Structure 1
Amino acid sequence: MQVSVFDTYVTRTDGTLMHFDILVPSNVTCTDTIHQYGQTYLATKGQGGQPLTAKECQFCHIEQATEEVQTSITNQGFHIIEMQGCH
């Protein structure tokens, strides 16, 4: 499965920066859908409602999905890779 990777930076409610990637099937191109996936993830981190637009979330590249990523996408439609400030 090919996935699109969206590089995402969101300012947390405490002012620190969260950096994470949103991975979706490469045929998912609706930015509203991708941003909604990001909002779903942010809500799990207590950061629901933080701004998440094309300014914070930009297409980066397409790659081959690992089994873990494919399972996550099958279960919820997307996968998150936490990079910085997500814990």
Structure 2
Amino acid sequence: MEVSVWDTYVPREDGKVMHFDILVPSDLKDTNTIFGFGKEYLTSKSFKTGKLSSEECRFCHMQSAPPGVVEGIQLDGYFIIEMENCS
């Protein structure tokens, strides 16, 4: 499966910046849906974060997804890869 990778940086209440990628099917182009996935992910965190919009989340590239990512996308519609300050 080909996926689009959306590079995302969201400020945390404690001053740190979360860095994570939102992976979605490559044919999904609706930014409101993609940002909604990011917002859904942020609600799962135990700390408060800033907003998520086109300033914090941008299309980065497309790539082939490994099986675990494909399973997550089939289940939830998206997959998050946590990079920095996500816990």
**Contact kept? 1:39, 1:49, Cα under 8 Å:** no
Q: Percent identity, aligned pairs only?
A: 48
Tell me by how many angstroms 1:36 deviates: 0.3
Secondary structure in 2 matching 1:37: helix
**Contact kept? 1:23, 1:79, Cα under 8 Å:** yes
Tell me by how many angstroms 1:50 deviates: 2.7
Secondary structure in 2 matching 1:72: helix
TM-score (normalizing by structure 2):
0.95
For structure 2, the 5+ residue unaligned runs are none
Runs of 4 or more above 4 Å deviation: none
- RMSD across aligned C-alpha pairs, in angstroms? 1.2
For structure 1, the 5+ residue unaligned runs are none
TM-score (normalizing by structure 1):
0.95
The total of aligned residue pairs comes to 87
